Structure 1
Amino acid sequence: MTKEIRKAYLLGAERAVHLLATEEVARCWGKESVLPGMTVGGLAGHLARSVLQVEWFLDGETVGTEPVSPVRYYARLVGTSLPDSALNVGVRARSEETAAAGPAAVAEQARAAWQRLAHRLGQEPADRRVAILHRPGEEMLLDGYLQTRCVELAVHLDDLVLSVGAHCQTPEATLAIAVDVLVAAARDRHGDQAVLHALARRERDADQALRVL
């Protein structure tokens, strides 16, 4: 499973790197994206961080705390659909910080990181842990963290494509992991009965149980 997760992640990251380097993204950098309150540049910065952060987290110091699963990583989130929630304000701030370097620099940073990761991930053991630097004290298994990055790549590749009118599709392997993680997070958060209603009886889906992000 480790090999499949890492391959799916690298395929998604490669697609993101190519999209970030397109003329469409550079031309629309300062315009509003399809996400309320976020520019195309900010969205591109957020997408790039799904490549950059993997390197940063690999270089962070771990202390051996119980690793957070990719399902719990998402299931516990609150305020995901509220633009002014603390979660989304923090995401936008980190994304704009990355975007401040400009489209060419962000694209190059992501490309260089992806190339290094294509080699590095093949050398890391299955039990490798990473520190979640924006949540001090938390750790994840590397493959679990890469599954969350597949979610972010799949979701935000789609957002950026729609924002700039580019032609780009997320790899099927990346999408499959993203869907598996998000459905499992929905089950964790709402329970199977609610998820069943969301899948088969939408008129009874009062909680929008499949909405995780």
Structure 2
Amino acid sequence: MSLKNAYLETAARAVTLLDAPETAAAWRRPSALTQWTVGGLAGHLMYQIFSVDQVLQEPESEQEPISLVEHYERAEWIGAPLDGEANSGIRAKGEGISSEGVQPLRARVGAALDEQRTGLGEVPDDRVVFLPQTGWALCLDDFLVTRLVELAVHMDDLAAGVGLPTTELPRAASDPVLRLLTELAVRRHGQTALLRALTRVERAPAAINVF
């Protein structure tokens, strides 16, 4: 399965989670994430799909793309306080997207995903895409990995908040996500910390989180 198809399959599973009656019933309740409602978190999850539309509608960027690791090293939201400007802005965008309600949001994201099934096939994997929210560029495949990370993490968050099991991702989606998170964890905590967390719990650090 190609990375494009892995993204499309994962995005479709996120839409299925949005469709769940449990999600609609809990829309205005607190989610599993601090300071997020279920609806706001669902809006943020669907934004990951809408963001692919944004980059496909722009002409190819002339900027030199940066690496995935550098993309996350530059990210202002990582390690920022929950009430800080970066995270407050992310929450506000998610709440804004969710304000239209479940059914209108479902219709809009379904239409976007239908168009992407055709649109993604028409652009090369190494196309350079500009990210207006960051000010730098990535190659398309790397950008899709960032969407897979967001979809995987927040599908788990949303499912946990509404009492549903977390959906297993296809290997073509989970493999690049776990490779990237492993590399970021090693850069943040060191090789030994990750080795012990996976093999020697008695000597493992308390946390090896990336975000």
Q: Percent identity?
A: 36
Q: Which runs of 4+ in 1 moved over 6 A?
A: none
Shift of 1:82: 4.0
Find the aligned partners of 2:22 and 2:141 in 1 and give their Cα distance. 32
Q: SS in structure 1 opposite 2:53?
A: helix
Distance 1:34 1:95 in 2: 15
Task: Name the SS for the 1:121 alignment partner.
Answer: helix
Query: Match for 1:29: what amino acid?
Result: W
User: How many Å separate the matches in 2 of 1:60 and 1:205?
Assistant: 45
Report if the CA contact (8 A) 1:74-1:182 is conserved: no
Normalised TM-score (structure 1):
0.87
Question: Structure 2: which amino acid aligns with 1:98?
Answer: I
Q: Deviations over 1:146-180 (max 9, x none)?
A: 01111111111111111112355132322222211
In 2, Cα distance between equivalents of 1:115 and 1:63: 24
The answer to whether residue 78 in structure 2 is matched with residue 84 in structure 1 is no
The number of residue pairs the alignment matches comes to 209
Distance in 2 between residues matched to 1:162 and 1:88, nearest whole Å:
20
Q: 1:161 maps to which residue?
A: 159
* Equivalent AA in structure 2 for residue 132 of structure 1: L
Q: Which residue of 2 aligns with 1:64?
A: 62
Deviation, 1:63, is 4.0
Which residue is 2:184 aligned to? Answer: 185
Aligned residue type for 1:124 = V
Point out where structure 2 has 5 or more consecutive residues left out of the alignment.
none
Hey, what does 1:55 align to over in structure 2?
A: 53
Give the partner amino acid of 1:157.
M
Q: Amino acid of the residue matched to residue 8 of structure 1? A: A
**What is the aligned partner in structure 2 of residue 74 from structure 1?**
72
Q: TM-score, normalised by structure 2?
A: 0.88
Q: Is contact 2:30-2:37 (8 Å) kept?
A: yes
Question: Per the alignment, in what secondary structure is the counterpart of residue 122 of structure 1?
Answer: helix
